[in-house]
Structure 1
Amino acid sequence: MELGLKDRVVLITGGSGGIGRPLAQQFGAEGAHVALTYHRRAETARGVVRDIEMAGGSAMAVPYDLTDRASMDQAVAAVTDRWGDIDALVVNASATGGPNPRPEPFDQISPSTWEPQLRTEVEGAFHTVQAVLPTMRRRSWGRIVFMSASIVFRGRAGDEAYTAGKAALHGLSRSLATELFDDGILSNVVAPGPTLTEGLLGKLPPALRDKIAGRSPEQARKLLDQGMPHLRFSTVEDVTNVVVFLASAANGNVTGSVVNVAGGH
């Protein structure tokens, strides 16, 4: 399928690790100009840029802080100064690295724990989209993809702030889809389930890591699915293929949708 991404300008927030890294690489392989943001891991981000460029692609890394609107404006300015207006935005940066249950019950959470995480997740997305939208409106074309998580649908005790923040993105995206359709801008959400990123593999027990070492992603998934039948693991490609399609010109009419990439869970 021709995705129509050659020479498109794509901005991926949180592009130095997790799903962000292979996303950046896949966009680069499709011929897009890829800008990926980082917060603390500058050298890791530069490594992703080198990988994309060595494969013949075009990329840059820009600093970005979810809590600082000025840094978002500066990131967008750096991208547009180099390549022009932004065609696609993947809102991947998050207030946390993912679900991380708290030990205390919900009625004992302090506002100092709850408020920063929720505010950063939601307001960070709000400010990022606001910073990018004028560049899309100038072209009368744009694609926005918010990265959520399948845990939003099933919930988990201890992850209330994380799931509430991600669920808010669903409502934001749906409303943006309605407002922006006449401007040629489509907005969607992708909600991955447990995915075989380097981060997840690093959290597995050593014996299990040794068992899947050297296996292909598909073989590793099958081993984990067998050992944890209550889950259905995704490969990174399962997720990135969906995101790249939604952010491409091949997506002509999918908007306001939430795609749950979680093996049916």
Structure 2
Amino acid sequence: MLDLGLEGRTVLVTGATGAIGRAAARAFAEQGARVALAFRYQREAAEALAAELSGPDGGRAFAVPYALDDAASPRWVVAAVEEHWGGLDVLVAAARRRGARRDPHTRFEDVPEEHWRPLVADGFVPAVRTVQWAVAGMRKRGWGRIALVAPAQAPEGAADGEFHAVARAGLHGLVRGLAGDVGGDGVLINAVCPGPTPPDRPPTPPDRPSTPPDRPPTPPDRPPATPEDIARALLFLCSAANGTITGEALTLAGCR
């Protein structure tokens, strides 16, 4: 069996009450890690999950408030974990906002800066702040793993989505740019990108073949990835079993 080397490691999962965050927290806890569950609104859900993951001896999980729109929150939440357990080994940044789009009736060149600036900044500034505070302690200890749950790169030419695309590119740029800087200190950083759900297709009429006779049949759509699928990817990338993969963005196509 592959040893992930997570027994006794300390893990911070932001967005821990979301589907992906919950699945990730459970996956790390099953490997013997201690898990801090960062939440924004759902305190009861976070505390219930902490109780579930604490184990018979207790103390292996706790809930901690975290707010993307509060500039001081990333520093505070990392400090809370380091004070509680003496350090932070793994950051799984699953908390993110859905990117806003500009008014489709307004041309790109007519969007004022006071409107587009928050569209860009809100998409990646909170992640930058959290990674900054997390990576400082990881460097000192000579080991760390960071994984961002990030949107896949925006399709080219997406209508009224250019500012959101800039924010997406910012997250991917953070991963690519920071990997070389912290790799020598034993810290690896990657992104896991939930891909789009395959589009629904209308049923084929019964009197018409589904595939033209002169074309080979196409493979069936892959089923959507589940939060547990994403959690397994996060688990490996943030484990000791991953000793070389860094600066990469893994897109799980078909994921909700």
Q: 1:252 aligns with which of 212, 219, 243?
A: 243
- Map of 1:40 onto structure 2: 41
Secondary structure of the residue that 1:27 maps to in structure 2? helix
- Map of 1:81 onto structure 2: 83
User: Mind listing any 5+ residue stretches in structure 1 that lack a counterpart?
Assistant: 197-203, 205-224
User: Aligned partners of 1:153, 1:238: CA distance in 2, in Å?
Assistant: 23
**Aligned amino acid, residue 225 of structure 2:** S
Deviation of residue 114 (structure 1)? Answer: 3.1
| Higher helix fraction (1 or 2) | 1
- Map of 1:181 onto structure 2: 183
**Aligned amino acid, residue 32 of structure 1:** A
1:1-265 equivalence runs, <5 A: 1-53=2-54, 58-94=60-96, 96=97, 98=98, 104-105=104-105, 107=108, 111-150=113-152, 152-153=154-155, 156-194=158-196, 233-263=224-254
- Map of 1:213 onto structure 2: none
Deviation of residue 158 (structure 1)? Answer: 4.1
User: Aligned partners of 2:155, 2:144: CA distance in 1, in Å?
Assistant: 27
User: Aligned partners of 2:197, 2:53: CA distance in 1, in Å?
Assistant: 22
**Aligned amino acid, residue 104 of structure 2:** E
Secondary structure of the residue that 2:154 maps to in structure 1? helix
Relative to structure 2, which stretch is displaced further, 2-11 or 105-114? Answer: 105-114
User: Aligned partners of 1:236, 1:72: CA distance in 2, in Å?
Assistant: 24
User: Aligned partners of 2:164, 2:19: CA distance in 1, in Å?
Assistant: 17
Going from structure 1 to structure 2, the CA distance change for 1:152 and 1:181 (only over 3 Å counts) comes to: same
Going from structure 1 to structure 2, the CA distance change for 1:120 and 1:22 (only over 3 Å counts) comes to: same
Deviation of residue 55 (structure 1)? Answer: 7.8
Deviation of residue 237 (structure 1)? Answer: 2.1
User: Aligned partners of 1:244, 1:111: CA distance in 2, in Å?
Assistant: 39
Going from structure 1 to structure 2, the CA distance change for 1:51 and 1:164 (only over 3 Å counts) comes to: farther
User: Aligned partners of 2:89, 2:148: CA distance in 1, in Å?
Assistant: 15
**Aligned amino acid, residue 168 of structure 1:** G
User: Aligned partners of 1:44, 1:101: CA distance in 2, in Å?
Assistant: 30
User: Aligned partners of 2:182, 2:253: CA distance in 1, in Å?
Assistant: 28
Secondary structure of the residue that 2:62 maps to in structure 1? strand
Indicate conservation of the 8 Å contact 1:10/1:86, yes or no: yes
Indicate conservation of the 8 Å contact 2:197/2:254, yes or no: no
Going from structure 1 to structure 2, the CA distance change for 1:116 and 1:80 (only over 3 Å counts) comes to: same
> Percent identity among equivalent residues?
38
Indicate conservation of the 8 Å contact 1:194/1:232, yes or no: no
Going from structure 1 to structure 2, the CA distance change for 1:139 and 1:22 (only over 3 Å counts) comes to: same
- Equivalenced residue count is 232
User: Aligned partners of 1:135, 1:32: CA distance in 2, in Å?
Assistant: 18
Taking structure 2 as the reference length, the TM-score comes to 0.80
Taking structure 1 as the reference length, the TM-score comes to 0.77
Indicate conservation of the 8 Å contact 2:101/2:163, yes or no: no
Indicate conservation of the 8 Å contact 1:38/1:62, yes or no: yes
User: Aligned partners of 1:233, 1:155: CA distance in 2, in Å?
Assistant: 25
1:221-257 deviation digits (Å, cap 9, x = unpaired): xxxx97xx5x852122221111110011110010111
User: Aligned partners of 2:124, 2:137: CA distance in 1, in Å?
Assistant: 21
Indicate conservation of the 8 Å contact 1:101/1:157, yes or no: no
Deviation of residue 166 (structure 1)? Answer: 2.1
